[in-house]
Structure 1
C-alpha cells in the first residue's frame, strides 16, 4: 500500500528542557562563538591540498581539512559532490569545537565514500548541513567519542540491501554526551540511528527517520537503542521495516518522550526470512513492520507523551524483562491508536497483522514494577486496546477494574487534525487536551514542536501534577 510522505519538519527544541530530563550539561549545537579561524574547501581549479586552506587557495578535499583542523576552527565547504571519507585528526574543546559545515548558501553532498564521516577517539566536533548518500558502509560512524554534534544532515542510501552489505545511517559505538538533532535519516539498508557498547547520555531529538529496511529480512529499525541512559525526544519515526523505536538488551533506562511514531508497517514482494507468514492474497511477499515503540529485555525505561499510530504490531510494547526483576517502566500521557490491526497485502487490500496486538502491551514476564496511567488508547475496529500478560482487554475500563492500572486512562478518538496525512496535532474538543499528568517521570515543559504547555480556556482541567493542563501525546493544542 502506497503511503504519502509528509514534508520534512524542522523542529527547534529548547535544549535546556531536554537536557534537564537526563540531568545533562547543555551541549553546543553549532559553531562556538570563539571559533574565528576558517578553513576553506572548494573542489575544482584553483584548489590545493598542499596549501593552507585559505579562501584564496582552498583545500580540494574535506578529508585534507579534517587532518589539519584544530579546536575553534570551522571548515567551510563550497557546493559540490565530494567522495572522500572525512576523519578528523584532532579534537575541539568545550566552547571551541571543530566544525564542519557548508559555506553560506552552499549545497554539499558526500557520495560513494566508505563512511562519509568517521570520528574515532575524538571530542567536541560538529558536523552540520551535509547530504550524505550511497556510502558503502554506515553514513556516519562514531566510535569512542564524546560531545559530538550531528545536526541538519541528510543521510540516505547507506549500504546495500543484501546479506553482509547492509549499513546504518548513523552508528554510535561507545559514544557519550553527544547530540543528533534535526537530521533526515532515510532509506538506509539497516537501522537509521544505532547506539551500542555503552553509548550513554546522548540526545536524539527532532530528527525524521524513515523508510530504513534490510529488504531481505525484517530487522531495520528507526532508532535502535542497545545502550543505556539516553534521551530520545520529539522525533518523527515512520515507515521503517521493523519497529519505529526500540530498546533491546543493553538499552536500560532510556527516556522516550514526545515522539511521533507511525506506519512502521508495509508489504514487500520479496519473500523475507523474518516476517509474517503468508496469508490470503499474500503468498509471494511479506508483511513487514513491528511495534511503534518496543522495549525488549530492558529495565528502567520511560515512555511518556508519545503519539503512536498504525504500526504493524502492538503500538507500545514491553516484553522479556528478566524473570523476577522489576521492570521499573513508566508509561504515561501517550496517545496510542489503531496499532496491531491491519497490514497491506500488496494488492491494495489489507490482512490482519498476525504478530502481537494492542495499543499497549506488557507481557507476562514484564508486569512487575510497570506502571501505566494517563494514556489515551483507541481502535477504529474491534480488537484489544491493552494486552496485560495473557489477558486481552477490549476496553480500558475492564483493564482498570482487573489490574488497578490506568486509573486516569481514556479510550476515545483523540481528534487528530488529519492522521491519514500524518498530521497529529489536536483539534478543539480532543479528550487529550488539559488531561495529562505533568509530574509523570520524563514529562517535559514543551511539546514536540517546542511549544510551551498552555491552559486551554475552553477545556476543564482534568490533569494532575505541577500543571493540570498538559496535553496527552506529542503535541500541545
Structure 2
C-alpha cells in the first residue's frame, strides 16, 4: 500500500518588534473541486480550488490527502477511467462525492472507477457507467452509488479486500470474491445480470442486510466457496424465470453451497421463487421446510405472487424485520428514516418495526393544507387555523403554526380523526404570513403558507381614487377605449373583509363587484361626473363616499399608416340618409393593412361626399345621439367634396356620420390615428410652402405623379416620420382626385385626399407618412391640375407635443360679429392654455369672391401660404392644423377675395411635456 503523503507549506515570517511571527503554516484545505463544464476555468495543473477546479477526477485522485473531500460538479459526463490508489487515515478518509445543490444528485462517470490498494476511502452520489472495482483495499464505503456495466456485475470486490461497505445504492449485480472479508451490503436495490444478483465466492463474513434483490438468470443470492460466516437478514429476495436467459441454472432465491454453510445465518427474509432455498445442495419449497431441516429462516416469509414485495400498504415487509441484525442502517435507499406504521403490528425481532428490503414504508406525507377562519380581520380578533395533511398515519402528526408576527409557533398534536387546531390574536395591524409545518413521527416535514391582513380597529370608511386607464406603452393591440376610467377603493378603511363594492359612475351606469375590487368604466364623453362608491363588508356594514371625477381624453402620439379605403357606400352599400346617423367602425387590432389600433383614442380620416341629392352638411362624431353643433363637410347638390376629419372614436371603436338632409354616398379613407403611450409627437411650423407647380414643374398631368421633398425643408427635420400639409388644387381641367402617399412605388388604391374640379380652387389637409429620401408623392388621376403643398407641422422622434382630442366645439363665428374683409384678419381665441398647436375645422361661408384663408399663430408673422380656398356663394370647410400662441389663432382673408364669414371649430390641441 502506498503510504500517505502529508504536505506542509511553510511561509517565511517577519518578526515584529515584539518578536511575534507575521504568518503561520498554511492549513490543508478541506475540499478539492472538480468541474469540467464550460466556463468553469478548470485546470489539471492547479490546486483544485473552487475558483480554479480540476478538469478531471483523475487529477484530484492524484492529489487528495487524508481528510480531504473531492467535490465533483454534476453536469457533463466525466468520460475517464478513474483509479484511486491513495489512502486516507482512520477517522480521516479521502472522499469522492457529487457537489450538487439537489439531494441525491449524482456525478456522471463514463467509465470504470477502480479502488486499488487503498484504505479509508469513501465514494458517494456517483453514477459509474463502467462499474466499480475494489481490489486489495480496506475500509472502503460506497453510498448512493448507481452502477452499470453492461451484462457484467456492476460492482466487484476482490483481491482480499476487507471491510467494504455498500449502502443505499442502485446496482446491476454485485460480485464478492478472492478472499475478501467483512463485506456489508445494506439497503441496496440490486438486479441480476446474466448470473446471480449477489454472488459471494471465497468471501468469508459477507453480510447482506435489508436489500431488495432481483435475480433473473440463476440464483438471486448465491453464497459459495469458502464464504463461511455469512449473514443474510431482512432482505426481499426474488428469483424469477426470464426468457432472455441462455442458461437453465438454478433460480433459487437463496443458494448457499455446502462449503459456505459453516457459521452462515439467514433469517427475516422475504423470498419469492418457485423453489426459494438451496442449502448445502438440498432444495426447500418454503420457509417451514427450510427451517425444520436447517434451523435457518424461522421468520422468513414466502411470497408466491408479484404483489406485496415493496413498501406498500398491506405488504408483509412492513415492520417485520430484525432491527438488531448486522449491517442495519438508520435510513433506507431514499434516505428516509425507520418509521413505525401505526396501523401494522410490530412483528420484527423484539417488537421492532424495521421494514424488510431496501425501502422503508412511510406515511406518504408530501403536502399540508390550512384553513384560516379570518384572513382579514381587525386587531384583537381571534384567528383560528385548522391544519391537515396527506399523511396516511394521522395519529402520529404534529403541526407547527407560525403566525408570522414574531410570537413562538403554536405546536398542536393531531388526535385520531381530528385536525391540528391553533388560535391567535394579533396585537398590531399589518400584513402577515401564517406558516404551517406538518411533522410526522420520523421528522419528515411538509409546509404551506397563507397571507392574512390585520387591520386597525375602527369604523368602515369608504374612499376611492380615480384615474384614466391607458394602453401600455406602444401596445397597439390591447383594446382600451378612450375615456375609460378606473375607480380604486383600496384606500378604504375596512376592518373586516369586504363582501362587495358598489359603484355609481355618475352617468347612469352602475356596477357591483365582489370584494374590494377596482371598477373600470368607459364614459361616452368628457366631463365632470359625480361618482359614488359603496363598500359593504361581511358583517353587512355599508359606507359610501361621493366625489367629482374628471373625465377627459388622454394626450396621445400619432401613428401614421399608409392610407387605405375603409368604406365606400357606392360599393359596400349604406348610403347616408338625411336625419339618420350611420356608424362606421375604425380598423380593429391587427387590421389587414398591417396597423393595429387597440388603444386608438382618435382617428384621422379623409371623408368624401358624392352623389349628394340636395344641399346638406355632414357631422362626424363619436356619439350616436350627442352630436356637437358643428359640421365637417358642406356640399351642394350634385357636388363632390372632401375634408380631413380628426374625430374621437367611440367605446367600441366606431364613429358616427350624420347627414342633415337628402341622400349622399360617403367614401372614408383611413389616414392614421392617435393613441396614448404610443406614436410620434407633433411639432407645428409656421405654414411653409413646399411646392407650387404654378411656378415650378408645370401642372400634374392625369395618371402621373410629382415627388415633393419635405425632410430638411422649412424647419422639418431630416428624420421626420410624417408631415402635415395643406394640399390645394387649382386650374384643374377635369373632375379628378389626388392621392398623397409615402412610397412612389406603392400607391395606395383606392384612396384619395383631394378632389379637383374645373374652375374651382380646392384645399384639403393631409397627414402623410414620409417615404424614401424624405419625400412624399402626389398622384393626379385624370386631366391636369396645378398642385400647391404647404407644410403646417411634422411628426417625429424629436417632436415636441402630444395631441388631446376634444368634443368638437365652436371657437369663433363671424356671422354674429360681421364678415372679415378682404386683406383683413380675425382672432380666434379659446384654445386651452398651454397649447402650442390646434386642429380646427375652419369654414368660409357667404364669400363674395374667390380667395383664400390662412391660419397661423397669433402674434407671429403671416406666412405666404394658404389654409382654405374661398369660393363665392359656397360654404367651404377645411381641416386645419396651426400653431397657437397665448391660446389664440389669427385667420387672414386674402386681399384679392371678397369679404367672408369665418367659422372655427376646435377638434383638438397639442401640448408639450
| 1: CA distance, partners of 2:145 / 2:45 | 24
C-alpha change, 1:70 and 1:434, in structure 2 (3 Å) is closer
Which of the numbers 172, 178, 184 marks the counterpart of 2:121? 178
Q: Kindly state the Cα deviation for residue 101 of structure 1 after the two structures are TM-superposed.
A: 5.7
C-alpha change, 1:319 and 1:87, in structure 2 (3 Å) is farther
Q: Is the 8 A contact 1:375 1:406 kept in 2?
A: yes
Q: Which residue of 2 aligns with 1:374?
A: 268
Q: Kindly state the Cα deviation for residue 184 of structure 1 after the two structures are TM-superposed.
A: 0.9
| 2: CA distance, partners of 1:473 / 1:429 | 15
Q: Which residue of 1 aligns with 2:84?
A: 142
C-alpha change, 1:414 and 1:452, in structure 2 (3 Å) is farther
Task: Please give the residue correspondences for 1:135-284 in structure 2 after superposition, counting only pairs within 5 Å.
Answer: 135=80, 138=81, 140-146=82-88, 147-152=93-98, 154-158=107-111, 169-186=112-129, 188=130, 192-197=131-136, 199-210=137-148, 212-213=149-150, 220-226=152-158, 227-238=161-172, 244-262=173-191, 264-265=192-193
Task: Please give the residue correspondences for 1:31-430 in structure 2 after superposition, counting only pairs within 5 Å.
Answer: 71-72=29-30, 75=33, 77=35, 79-80=37-38, 86=44, 110=56, 115=58, 117-119=60-62, 122-130=65-73, 131-135=76-80, 138=81, 140-146=82-88, 147-152=93-98, 154-158=107-111, 169-186=112-129, 188=130, 192-197=131-136, 199-210=137-148, 212-213=149-150, 220-226=152-158, 227-238=161-172, 244-262=173-191, 264-265=192-193, 289-321=194-226, 327-339=228-240, 341-344=241-244, 351=245, 353-379=247-273, 383-412=274-303, 425-430=310-315
Q: Kindly state the Cα deviation for residue 364 of structure 1 after the two structures are TM-superposed.
A: 1.3
> 1:302-350: per-residue Cα shift (whole Å, max 9, x none)?
111100014322111100017xxxx1111110000124x2242xxxxxx
> 1:196-218: per-residue Cα shift (whole Å, max 9, x none)?
12x222210111112x13xxxx7
Q: Which TM-score applies when normalising by structure 1?
A: 0.60
Q: Is the 8 A contact 1:209 1:236 kept in 2?
A: yes
Q: Kindly state the Cα deviation for residue 141 of structure 1 after the two structures are TM-superposed.
A: 1.3
Q: Kindly state the Cα deviation for residue 396 of structure 1 after the two structures are TM-superposed.
A: 2.2
Q: Kindly state the Cα deviation for residue 129 of structure 1 after the two structures are TM-superposed.
A: 2.8
| 2: CA distance, partners of 1:376 / 1:353 | 25
Q: Kindly state the Cα deviation for residue 144 of structure 1 after the two structures are TM-superposed.
A: 3.1
Any runs of at least 4 consecutive aligned residues in structure 1 with deviations exceeding 4 A, and if so which?
A: 72-78, 81-89, 99-103, 413-417
| 2: CA distance, partners of 1:87 / 1:370 | 50
> 1:358-380: per-residue Cα shift (whole Å, max 9, x none)?
1111011111111111000013x
C-alpha change, 1:259 and 1:453, in structure 2 (3 Å) is same
Q: Is the 8 A contact 1:87 1:117 kept in 2?
A: no
| 2: CA distance, partners of 1:72 / 1:446 | 26
C-alpha change, 1:245 and 1:69, in structure 2 (3 Å) is farther
> 1:233-252: per-residue Cα shift (whole Å, max 9, x none)?
110113xxxxx112111321
Q: Is the 8 A contact 1:151 1:182 kept in 2?
A: yes
Q: Is the 8 A contact 1:203 1:230 kept in 2?
A: yes
Q: Which residue of 1 aligns with 2:344?
A: 459
| 2: CA distance, partners of 1:425 / 1:257 | 16
Q: Kindly state the Cα deviation for residue 412 of structure 1 after the two structures are TM-superposed.
A: 1.4
> 1:104-131: per-residue Cα shift (whole Å, max 9, x none)?
xx9x975xx9x56542684333222344
C-alpha change, 1:183 and 1:468, in structure 2 (3 Å) is same
C-alpha change, 1:116 and 1:245, in structure 2 (3 Å) is farther
Name the SS of the counterpart of 1:202 in structure 2: strand
> 1:406-429: per-residue Cα shift (whole Å, max 9, x none)?
011110168768xxxxxx741100
Q: Is the 8 A contact 1:415 1:429 kept in 2?
A: no
C-alpha change, 1:297 and 1:82, in structure 2 (3 Å) is farther
Q: Which residue of 2 aligns with 1:5?
A: none
| 1: CA distance, partners of 2:49 / 2:115 | 18
Looking at secondary structure, tell me which structure has more strand per residue. Answer: 2
Q: Kindly state the Cα deviation for residue 85 of structure 1 after the two structures are TM-superposed.
A: 8.8
Q: Is the 8 A contact 1:100 1:127 kept in 2?
A: no
Q: Is the 8 A contact 2:32 2:60 kept in 1?
A: no
Which of the numbers 345, 348, 354 marks the counterpart of 1:470? 354
C-alpha change, 1:74 and 1:202, in structure 2 (3 Å) is closer
| 1: CA distance, partners of 2:184 / 2:33 | 34
C-alpha change, 1:82 and 1:255, in structure 2 (3 Å) is same
Name the SS of the counterpart of 2:68 in structure 1: strand
Q: Is the 8 A contact 2:256 2:278 kept in 1?
A: yes
| 1: CA distance, partners of 2:42 / 2:153 | 28
| 2: CA distance, partners of 1:223 / 1:70 | 32
Q: Kindly state the Cα deviation for residue 76 of structure 1 after the two structures are TM-superposed.
A: 7.3
C-alpha change, 1:185 and 1:121, in structure 2 (3 Å) is closer
Name the SS of the counterpart of 1:318 in structure 2: strand
Name the SS of the counterpart of 1:426 in structure 2: coil
C-alpha change, 1:126 and 1:101, in structure 2 (3 Å) is farther
| 2: CA distance, partners of 1:258 / 1:440 | 13
Is 2:347 the partner of 1:447? Answer: no
Q: Which TM-score applies when normalising by structure 2?
A: 0.33
| 2: CA distance, partners of 1:357 / 1:448 | 26
| 2: CA distance, partners of 1:370 / 1:118 | 38
C-alpha change, 1:69 and 1:355, in structure 2 (3 Å) is farther
| 2: CA distance, partners of 1:335 / 1:306 | 6
| 1: CA distance, partners of 2:251 / 2:300 | 18
Name the SS of the counterpart of 2:283 in structure 1: strand
Q: Kindly state the Cα deviation for residue 256 of structure 1 after the two structures are TM-superposed.
A: 0.9
Q: Kindly state the Cα deviation for residue 83 of structure 1 after the two structures are TM-superposed.
A: 12
| 1: CA distance, partners of 2:254 / 2:144 | 24
| 2: CA distance, partners of 1:223 / 1:81 | 34
- Give the aligned length: 321
| 1: CA distance, partners of 2:301 / 2:315 | 11
Name the SS of the counterpart of 2:200 in structure 1: strand
C-alpha change, 1:173 and 1:122, in structure 2 (3 Å) is farther
Q: Kindly state the Cα deviation for residue 354 of structure 1 after the two structures are TM-superposed.
A: 2.5
